[in-house]
Structure 1
Amino acid sequence: MSHTLLLVDDEKQVLQFMEPFLRQEGFQTLTAQTGSEALEKAREKKPDLVVLDWMLPEMSGIEVCRELRKMSRIGIIMVTARTEETDKIIGLEVGADDYITKPFSLRELAARIRSVLRRMKGLEFNEQQLRRGELLISESQCRVWKQGEEIPLTPTEFRLLLTLAEKPGIVYSRLQLLAALEDELLNDERTVDAHISRLRKKIEDVPSNPVYIQTVYGFGYRFGGQL
């Protein structure tokens, strides 16, 4: 099945650079040059993944990413010329699944798109539910509820939560959590911290004093062993 991509960049030349190649790679494409146009098309057309430029007029890519994440668990890849590590972490914390810096090759972009789509599709499990404290985790539906209210998670966040929740009390290093994501393009241990931080904000009552996703200093993370 062909996936639909929404390509968002304020420079028409960049869109003309990406779109023909991605169509040749088998994707259907939509384009937008402003944040408001991107949000409108995302609502109407419901693409599978958004390739989102950081620097946009009127509304930044970061703001668009936040709004997209409120709508759904759509795949999001941030594209930017910014190379600072803090910028990358900001992008991941607001909901991006991946991050690519300019200049980039079209082959690398296609590989990262397929990587995110594979993570989204790969969340397929036998019917089973895990109940951990106030959390109910459905493996087959890739959905999580807290006290009956659904918590929208990205594919990466869900896989991290599931990995930790399956074995409460077991400490996982960042490298082990990266391996659990089964994605060769995710190889930076520090991105685990960003995803964990975002996950805590969604599932913890007090993210600075987590009950579920606990830090074991010098080692990694564990799911609250008392649950």
Structure 2
Amino acid sequence: MGHPVNGGSPSPLLLARGSGQRLLVAVGDRDATELLTSTLELAGYRTGAAGSGAEVARRLVEHRFDLVVIDAELPGLDDLAQGGRLKPAYRPPVLLLAACESLAGLVPELGAGERDYVTKPVRIAEVLARVKVLLRGVGGAGRRGGTLDHADLVLDDGTCRARRGGRTLDLTPAEYRLLRHLLVNSPKVLSKEQISRYVRGEFRGDNAIEQLVSRLRRKVDRGGPSLIHTRRGFGYWLGELSGPG
């Protein structure tokens, strides 16, 4: 299995934080497991680890976890999706780590309960953000059947495509990642450094992010009410003008 986590991420101390909730990290790659568990612990969570679907089922019977972070390539995942040894009343929220092209088949297999996903290579910032959303049960952007949406803007992670109203957006991979990051965090203001570390894996302090946001804004907001906004001196956010802008 390829390494599912990109380590080029900002400090978890600067991102969404937990308050002692118990998270089970189920990733077959040992290095990725260590990176995820250590980062989540730094962010204020308590963690356990499992290396197979059978081990996930056993750990969930032995302990009550508030959320499970699970790799789509985990050995034995099919058995776990069918219920395994889990008690029907106990189904913690699930955050799935999955390749974009596999989402259409995997997401329906997760069963009942709260569930979400991030696409590989996984960025720590997005994992922390989606964990926070799952644990509180609400999010800035809506999610329906493998899509993210806000107003008439829809992102489909199953096809890695976006549209606004009846118009398909012709986005580059970097533009798609930026739009998804803004949408997932809506209406939070994201700094240029946060965006750069998420989209590019590093922050170089040049004007590349301004140019990327400008190109994306022209594509998203053409012919409709503006959804992408600048908060001067702070960063960028997505939403209606009644938001933080």
Compare relative contact order (CA 8 Å, sep 6+) and give the higher one, 1 or 2. Answer: 2
Q: Which has the higher helix share?
A: 1
The alignment's TM-score, normalised by the length of structure 2, stands at: 0.46
The alignment's TM-score, normalised by the length of structure 1, stands at: 0.50
